[in-house]
Amino acid sequence: MSTEIPPPEVIYVEGHKVACNGGGGALGHPLVYLELGASGEVECGYCDRKFVHKDHAHDYADPSPRPEGAH
Ligand SMILES: [Zn+2]
């Protein structure tokens, strides 16, 4: 009943390439480089942390929000 899985950590970044080593500790892993795709986000296959470009972050205060699905 108390097997709640904590949500993966979301890290907002400004670039389109990130390096992740899990942040050390129990979740530490070899350093890997991840590239944010066109969606502006990528998930680390090792530690499940999610890297989101700040322009794509829904929680990030955007002064000029774009309508979704407008292509
Ligand atoms: Zn990682």
Topology annotation, domain 10-53: HSP40/DNAj peptide-binding domain (2.60.260)
- Rounded to two decimals, the pTM is 0.67
What amino acid is encoded at 45 in this protein?
G
Residue 67 C-alpha to ligand 1 middle, in angstroms?
Answer: 31
Residue 39 above 80 pLDDT?
yes
Q: Label residue 59 by pLDDT band (50, 70, 90).
A: low
Which string of b and e fits 5-17 if b means at least 16 CB within 10 Å?
A: eeeeeeeebeeee
- The token pair at 49 is 């942390």
Residue 16 C-alpha to ligand 1 middle, in angstroms?
Answer: 15
Q: Where do the structural domains in the chain lie, given as residue ranges?
A: 10-53
Residue 2 C-alpha to ligand 1 middle, in angstroms?
Answer: 26
Q: List Cα–Cα distances, 66 to 5, 6, 10, 50, 56, in angstroms.
A: 32, 30, 21, 22, 10
